[in-house]
């Protein structure tokens, strides 16, 4: 998420409505691609740093397979002496691989064989990496510009439409070339090419004392088209933790939910985008499989239109149509009215997603918690209307100073119902603890959906909140002490979904034979410490409150093998139904339903001389036998 510092903005541009419509129609669909580039110089001081870098990429591979298998991931080794072909050698036939570079994996969707191939490579990398890849000569320095050109070519020829492409360079060398060399200037020229291609470049230092000043500060600012003064050196350890965290992507997805225009007044609007504060749990899609070979059952939906004759109700005409060719038909007075799906879509799609400013209220007018719908986060976007970041920041700072919130009408997507929302300005809380997840929430507006009449329930509290259930002041004070002693610092951004953790651990164990330990809430709660805190309050608890009476347990059912009677009745023998007194006994006890359909047919034919069709139901046979038996008793 790029910063919206006003110093990074250009100048104001007054565009017409037509230009704004064209800008808002930009295509934001596509796949995410991440290309890892590992510097072979990591092996110069031993294999520790190289193995650590490969372990980070290993977690990213597993994350990509579990979270979203549609994304593309690749791996390239730079500054190598040899350039062995990848396992899929035909994938680099149209790509010029320069010297001192080796493509281990071109950009591909991650599958189980690809991850297994990487794990097999990691098992032998400590012994075979030096001989198979080696280190470039002399001084382990290859051409940085050729490496960037290779990465650009791999991203452009991946065969998929990309929306967010990243090049992640893992190294521990401060500068690839001397500042006075021609290779240094050629490398900086490639940064401009990256900015034109809209490919992001990231450096992951493998040492904490990494220096950006010699080369990478200027290279990154050129690739992102920002000023060098606005560049802030990130913490190297936090970058490694963020890249290694396989839960980061599914909890904090970078792609926004939508782009829209925020209209502040006549001829004044800005382009913004909104995000989720959390990522919903994505469980695997349920499918039906055939038992004999576990193949997936494919279903096909067909819509048939039939025309019936009004008198005979016979089908006169039948044809198959598509979903978009359907229609709504109803009677308007004496005439039928038919509306096609195209007309319905036109009526529903009269307005594009937007937000309209209605007014301002004081912060105290909004309750702290509203349970009607989860909140979203709004952020500016300069790609559609230039100057939106500057205007957004001015509005945000003014609302913070005056403790104001914005009341607006928000239509999140096409064909949706507009909702009244409150825009609450939020600010990042500076924390001394270096936890990268706490730094992911930025400055902006929180979109709070205001409740309507249908969202408010009236609950009668008289059933439990009455004088009969009230406690004394001494008991209330006692539990206030217990609550204070058991209070914890709950940080939901540090806790992963336990059910999703358990599911993904089982998937890894079955597919890749990888055992993972998921502690879930164990890291948050220390039960032994909690027991010690409230240990001294146990005597007071026993004095104030009555002894708990455990409810009586239900007696378990006895096993028929131990002599207990079984709940199931014995089956009726075919010889028994030949006796008419036994049949009368079944009728009197209303137990004819214990007989099968074939036995009921035998009873009718043997004792009453009646034979019903084989298609007769069991209820019909029982009813007929009871009627014949009653008629026979009446005649006698």
Segment of 250-259, 272-281, 284-293, 464-473 carrying the highest mean pLDDT: 284-293
Segment of 8-17, 292-301, 389-398, 509-518 carrying the highest mean pLDDT: 389-398
Q: Are strands 444-449 and 200-205 parallel, antiparallel or unpaired?
A: unpaired
pLDDT tier at 394, thresholds 50, 70, 90: very high
548-581 tens-digit pLDDT: 767 666 666 565 555 555 444 556 777 788 888 8
Are 239 and 293 contained in the same domain?
no
307-341 tens-digit pLDDT: 888 778 788 888 888 878 888 888 888 888 888 88
pLDDT tier at 488, thresholds 50, 70, 90: confident
**Parent domain of 416:** 258-279+354-455
197-214 tens-digit pLDDT: 778 888 989 888 888 888
Instruction: Give the CATH number for residue 304.
Output: 4.10.970
User: Is residue 495 one of the residues assigned to a domain?
Assistant: no
Residues 6+ away with beta carbon under 8 Å from 162: 30, 31, 32, 33, 72, 155
pLDDT tier at 25, thresholds 50, 70, 90: very low
Are 110 and 176 contained in the same domain?
yes
Are 221 and 77 contained in the same domain?
yes
Taking residues 408-423, report their average pLDDT: 89
Judge if the upstream peptide bond of residue 243 is cis by omega within 30 degrees of 0.
Answer: no
State the pLDDT at residue 75. 93
pLDDT at 24 over 60: no
Tell me the three state secondary structure of residue 598: helix
Look at the alpha carbons of 205, 206, 208, 213 in this order and tell me if their dihedral is positive or negative: negative
User: Is residue 250 one of the residues assigned to a domain?
Assistant: no
Which one of 455, 470, 486 terminates a domain? Answer: 455
pLDDT at 500 over 80: no
State the pLDDT at residue 583. 86
Tell me the three state secondary structure of residue 246: coil
User: Is residue 540 one of the residues assigned to a domain?
Assistant: no
Query: How would DSSP label each residue in 91-113?
Result: GGTTS---TTEEEEEEEEE--HH
Are 272 and 325 contained in the same domain?
no
pLDDT, averaged across the chain: 80
- What's the CA angle centered on 519, arms 518 and 521, to 5 degrees? 130
Taking residues 488-513, report their average pLDDT: 70
pLDDT at 259 over 70: yes
Are 330 and 369 contained in the same domain?
no
Q: Which of 10-24, 69-83, 378-392 has the lowest mean pLDDT?
A: 10-24
Q: How far is the CA of 509 from the CAs of 55, 167, 517, in angstroms?
A: 18, 30, 11
Are 238 and 120 contained in the same domain?
yes
Are 237 and 275 contained in the same domain?
no
158-179 tens-digit pLDDT: 888 887 788 999 998 888 888 8
Are 38 and 124 contained in the same domain?
yes
pLDDT at 11 over 50: no
Taking residues 115-139, report their average pLDDT: 87
User: Is residue 134 one of the residues assigned to a domain?
Assistant: yes
Are 264 and 316 contained in the same domain?
no
pLDDT tier at 409, thresholds 50, 70, 90: very high
| Better-predicted residue by pLDDT, 369 or 57 | 57
State the pLDDT at residue 250. 44
Residues 6+ away with beta carbon under 8 Å from 451: 370, 371, 372
State the pLDDT at residue 37. 93
Which one of 348, 363, 390 terminates a domain? Answer: 348
State the pLDDT at residue 534. 87
User: Is residue 173 one of the residues assigned to a domain?
Assistant: yes
Instruction: Give the CATH number for residue 82.
Output: 3.40.50.410
pLDDT tier at 3, thresholds 50, 70, 90: very low
- Alpha-carbon span 446 to 449, nearest angstrom: 10
Are 59 and 185 contained in the same domain?
yes
Taking residues 50-62, report their average pLDDT: 86
User: Is residue 20 one of the residues assigned to a domain?
Assistant: no
pLDDT at 593 over 50: yes
Share of the chain above pLDDT 90, in %: 13
State the pLDDT at residue 303. 85
pLDDT at 254 over 90: no
pLDDT tier at 358, thresholds 50, 70, 90: very high
Instruction: Give the CATH number for residue 369.
Output: 2.40.290.10
How many structural domains compose the chain?
4
User: Is residue 579 one of the residues assigned to a domain?
Assistant: yes
Are 418 and 273 contained in the same domain?
yes
State the pLDDT at residue 623. 87
State the pLDDT at residue 248. 47
Which one of 348, 380, 397 terminates a domain? Answer: 348
Q: What count of other Cβ atoms lies within 10 Å of the Cβ of residue 32?
A: 19
| Better-predicted residue by pLDDT, 223 or 464 | 223
User: Is residue 7 one of the residues assigned to a domain?
Assistant: no
Are 67 and 191 contained in the same domain?
yes
pLDDT at 421 over 90: yes
pLDDT tier at 279, thresholds 50, 70, 90: low
Q: How far is the CA of 459 from the CAs of 5, 268, 367, in angstroms?
A: 48, 45, 19
pLDDT tier at 189, thresholds 50, 70, 90: confident
């Amino acid at each position: 998420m790029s910063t919206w510092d006003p110093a990074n903005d250009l100048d104001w541009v007054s565009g017409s409505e037509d230009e704004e419509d064209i800008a808002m129609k930009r295509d934001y669909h596509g796949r995410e691609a991440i290309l890892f580039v590992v510097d072979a110089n990591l092996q110069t001081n031993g294999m520790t740093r190289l193995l650590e870098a490969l372990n980070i990429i290993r977690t990213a591979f597993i994350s990509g397979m579990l979270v979203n298998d549609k994304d593309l991931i690749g791996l390239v080794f730079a500054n190598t002496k040899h350039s062995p072909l990848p396992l899929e050698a035909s994938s680099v036939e149209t790509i010029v691989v320069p010297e001192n570079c080796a493509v281990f994996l071109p950009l591909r969707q991650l599958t189980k064989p690809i991850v297994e191939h990487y794990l097999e490579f990691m098992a032998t990398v400590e012994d075979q990496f030096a001989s198979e890849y080696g280190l470039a000569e002399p001084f382990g320095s290859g051409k940085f510009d050729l490496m960037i050109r290779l990465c650009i070519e791999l991203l452009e020829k991946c065969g998929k439409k990309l929306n967010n492409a990243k090049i992640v360079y893992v190294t521990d060398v401060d500068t690839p070339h001397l500042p006075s060399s021609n290779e240094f200037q050629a490398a900086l020229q490639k940064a401009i090419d990256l900015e034109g291609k809209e490919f992001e470049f990231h450096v992951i230092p493998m040492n904490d004392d990494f220096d950006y000043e010699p080369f990478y500060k200027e290279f990154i600012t050129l690739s992102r088209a920002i000023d060098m003064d606005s560049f802030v050196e990130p913490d190297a350890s936090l970058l490694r933790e963020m890249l290694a965290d396989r839960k980061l992507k599914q909890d904090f997805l970078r792609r926004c939910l939508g782009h829209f225009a925020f209209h502040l007044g006549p001829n004044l609007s800005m382009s913004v985008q909104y995000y989720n504060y959390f990522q919903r749990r994505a469980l695997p899609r349920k499918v039906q499989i055939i038992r004999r070979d576990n193949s997936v059952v494919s279903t096909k939906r067909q819509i048939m239109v039939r025309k019936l004759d009004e008198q005979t109700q016979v089908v006169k005409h039948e044809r198959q149509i598509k979903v978009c060719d359907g229609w709504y038909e109803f009677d308007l007075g004496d005439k039928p009215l038919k509306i096609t799906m195209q007309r319905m879509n036109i009526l529903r799609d009269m307005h594009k997603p937007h937000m309209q400013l209605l007014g301002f209220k004081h912060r105290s007018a909004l309750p702290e918690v509203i349970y009607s719908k989860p909140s979203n986060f709004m952020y500016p976007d300069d790609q559609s209307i230039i100057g939106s970041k500057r205007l957004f920041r001015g509005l945000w700072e003014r609302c913070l100073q005056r403790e104001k919130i914005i009341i607006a009408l928000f239509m999140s997507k096409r064909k949706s119902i507009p909702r009244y929302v409150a825009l609450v300005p939020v600010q990042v809380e500076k924390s001394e603890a270096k936890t990268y997840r706490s730094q992911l929430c930025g400055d902006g507006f929180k979109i709070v959906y205001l409740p309507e009449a249908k969202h408010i329930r009236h609950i009668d509290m008289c059933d439990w909140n009455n004088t009969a259930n009230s406690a004394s002041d001494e008991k209330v004070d006692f539990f206030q002490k217990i609550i204070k002693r058991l209070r914890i610092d709950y940080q939901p951004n540090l806790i992963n979904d336990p059910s999703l953790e358990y599911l993904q651990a089982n998937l890894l164990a079955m597919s890749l034979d990888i055992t993972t330990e998921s502690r879930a809430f164990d890291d948050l709660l220390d039960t032994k410490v909690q027991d010690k805190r409230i240990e001294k309050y146990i005597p007071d608890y026993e004095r104030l409150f009555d002894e708990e009476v455990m409810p009586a347990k239900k007696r378990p059912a006895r096993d028929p093998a131990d002599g207990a009677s079984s709940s199931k009745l014995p089956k009726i023998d075919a010889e028994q139904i030949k006796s008419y007194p036994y049949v009368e006994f079944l009728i009197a006890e209303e137990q004819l339903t214990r007989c099968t359909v074939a036995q009921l047919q035998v009873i009718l034919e043997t004792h009453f001389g009646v034979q019903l069709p084989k298609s007769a139901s069991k209820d019909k046979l029982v009813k007929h036998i009871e009627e014949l038996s009653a008629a026979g008793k009446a005649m006698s």
